[in-house]
Amino acid sequence: MREIVALTDRALRQAGVEGVLPTPLEGVAQVVEIGEVVDIAEMPTNLVVKRPSLLKRVLGAILLPERTIFVDGTLSDARLRFTTGHEIGHRLLPWHEAAYFLDDESTLSLDAREQLEAEASAVSAHLIFQGPRRFMEFALGYQVGIKAALLAAAAHRSSAHSAIRYYVENHPDPVAVLVAGRFLDDGGAVPIWGSLESPSFSTKYGSLGKRFPEQRLEVLDGGGRPFGDIMHASLAEIASKPLLIRDLASVPQQFVAEAFFNGFCHFVLVSERQARRLGRRVRLLAEAG
Ligand SMILES: [Zn+2]
């Protein structure tokens, strides 16, 4: 990971785009000697026959001799950027060249390519978010919470989902997020797909996701046990409420939970109340007002 970070930082530096938001990925592509970024619909037919299958949608590919990147032009802006960054990653990491060059959705399965795929995606996140230090400098300018992550998504032209993940993973304070599906089961609950914790949350509280052994969140019980009320309200707008979370010594600590729905999945972000200080920008605005 250290080597990946060093190579990615060097590419940002060489492209002269350190701290430039949103990251101009074309400049980085030039630095790693990618000739062109082309819509996958323009992919040469002799390459198209090598596509794995119609069921596995190709999101991006890199054609090594011509140094051309192909990305699916029908993707949303955020996914297009992430895919472009991912393909740059395959080009940037010298040990990737020999491996393969055609990407498809089998990247999500557990196979021999998993490691390389994760590395290319780590490069993409680093390029788009400009690394954890610069990203958190930006995000900590706002009050701790889900809105800071969403503002960061807009500024970095990323998806809300990846910005929320990056925010939690790199946050200095105890914050954690649950990602849940949108379809209710018979019991009026949605499945928990995953949880992420900041390092300080993990140290003090352990895993948030493991506190839900059934891996589901009740939405329709009306009593809000524990997030149903704010999850239901978040279908209209971000909703929040105070709650207590016991630390690993079983001492209840004050938290704020916020629910956000992006149209595909639910996010419930919890942050320690004392960490929810005002950010620099908010404070300056308040002082100016
Ligand atoms: Zn890939």
Phi/psi of residue 3, each to 5°? -65, -40
* Ligand 1 center–CA 195 separation, angstroms: 24
pLDDT at 41: 74
Regions of the chain short of the pLDDT cut 70: 35, 44-67, 98-112, 221-224, 277-289
* Ligand 1 center–CA 210 separation, angstroms: 30
66-78 pLDDT, tens per residue?
Answer: 667 777 888 889 9
* Ligand 1 center–CA 114 separation, angstroms: 9
Cα separation values, 218 from 109, 182, 192, 221, 231, Å: 28, 11, 10, 6, 9
* Ligand 1 center–CA 185 separation, angstroms: 34
Task: Tell me how far apart the alpha carbons of residues 197 and 285 are, in angstroms, rounded to a whole number.
Answer: 30
* Ligand 1 center–CA 89 separation, angstroms: 8
* Ligand 1 center–CA 24 separation, angstroms: 20
Among residues 192, 193, 194, 152, which one has the least CA distance to residue 171? 152
Among residues 104, 97, 95, which one has the least CA distance to residue 47? 104
* Ligand 1 center–CA 56 separation, angstroms: 13
* Ligand 1 center–CA 42 separation, angstroms: 19
pLDDT at 99: 58
pLDDT at 108: 40
Task: Tell me how far apart the alpha carbons of residues 268 and 224 are, in angstroms, rounded to a whole number.
Answer: 13
* Ligand 1 center–CA 125 separation, angstroms: 13
* Ligand 1 center–CA 55 separation, angstroms: 17
H helices of the chain, in order, are 2-14, 25-31, 45-48, 77-92, 114-129, 131-139, 146-156, 160-170, 199-205, 228-233, 280-288
* Ligand 1 center–CA 267 separation, angstroms: 26
* Ligand 1 center–CA 87 separation, angstroms: 6
pLDDT at 91: 87
Residues with C-beta atoms within 5 A of ion ligand 1: 103, 117, 120
pLDDT at 222: 57
**48 SS3 class:** helix
Task: Tell me how far apart the alpha carbons of residues 122 and 126 are, in angstroms, rounded to a whole number.
Answer: 6
pLDDT at 289: 42
**194 SS3 class:** strand
* Ligand 1 center–CA 72 separation, angstroms: 13
* Ligand 1 center–CA 239 separation, angstroms: 36
* Ligand 1 center–CA 282 separation, angstroms: 39
Among residues 231, 224, 236, 232, which one has the least CA distance to residue 269? 231
* Ligand 1 center–CA 127 separation, angstroms: 15
* Ligand 1 center–CA 182 separation, angstroms: 27
* Ligand 1 center–CA 90 separation, angstroms: 7
* Ligand 1 center–CA 43 separation, angstroms: 17
